[in-house]
Amino acid sequence: MANRIDQTFEKLRAKKQAAMIAYIAAGDPTLEATEALVPALEKAGVDLIELGLPFSDPLADGIVNQLAAARALEAGATTPKVLECVRAIRRVSQIPIVLYTYLNPIYRFGFSEFFAAAEAAGVDGLLILDLPPDEIASNPDFAINSSLKQIRLIAPTTPEARIATLTANASGFLYYVSREGVTGERAEIADSVAERVAAIRATTGLPIAVGFGISTPEHVRQVAALADGVVVGSAIVKKIAEWGKDPALVEKLVEFVTPLAAASKQP
């Protein structure tokens, strides 16, 4: 069976459109809410979901996403329960799902066991923030022995020689982090995005998604003109924090996300 990530980017490339990628923390405010939010976001125009696996020390994340992980853990989210949540989502939606995670939860679960369980649940790819390809090469226990796509992060400070190493070991798509530092909303898109995306394109035919700091339809429109995908995370997670106890959470989030998704398809 063809991977849902590949299929999605192929369809969008044929239409000359960018993918709208939404990040949410699994289990924030509850796993039941996550199960309802993912298909609702798909109907709002989201093309791919990054689902954060809650972890107690998410050092690459800003305060908004850190608090989301803390809320999810407090609500009882665990790695097995998140995978069961994905399995439940798969009964109603085939939207591509990438697990955004740190190494520790996978290490505790067991590498081969985690990859098999994630694939069986319906996960399409993994974005492991603190596992560089060098470590995989030197430690066979870290190898992803499954059909799960291996999403790689590339930073503004990544040297060009290093970009080639990262793209050579990637699959699915590349995630270009448009700013230094941790996740979070920003007032403006970094001026260097076009140049850096071009440098990455010179090394790979994989789709390139840009994230970190994107929070408005205008931001999305600007980035969609340069990249194959646009990632909105903290802006969405902030709204979940604000509306988490509201019975209309799903409806309100759909209303917020719909114009963001529409902007990814506009010239």
Q: What span, in angstroms and rounded, lies between the C-alpha atoms of 164 and 199?
A: 10
Beta-bridge partners for 152: 174
- Spatial neighbors of 215 by CB under 8 A, at least 6 apart, are 185, 186, 232, 234, 235
- Spatial neighbors of 100 by CB under 8 A, at least 6 apart, are 23, 50, 51, 52, 53, 127, 129
Q: Is 106 helix (H, G, I), strand (E, B) or coil?
A: helix
Q: Please state, in angstroms and as integers, the Cα–Cα distance from residue 68 to each residue in 5, 21, 98, 245, following that order.
A: 25, 18, 17, 14
Assigned token pair, 67: 């608090």
What residues are annotated to the active site?
50, 61
Assigned token pair, 39: 């298909």
Q: What span, in angstroms and rounded, lies between the C-alpha atoms of 146 and 190?
A: 35
Assigned token pair, 151: 């999403």
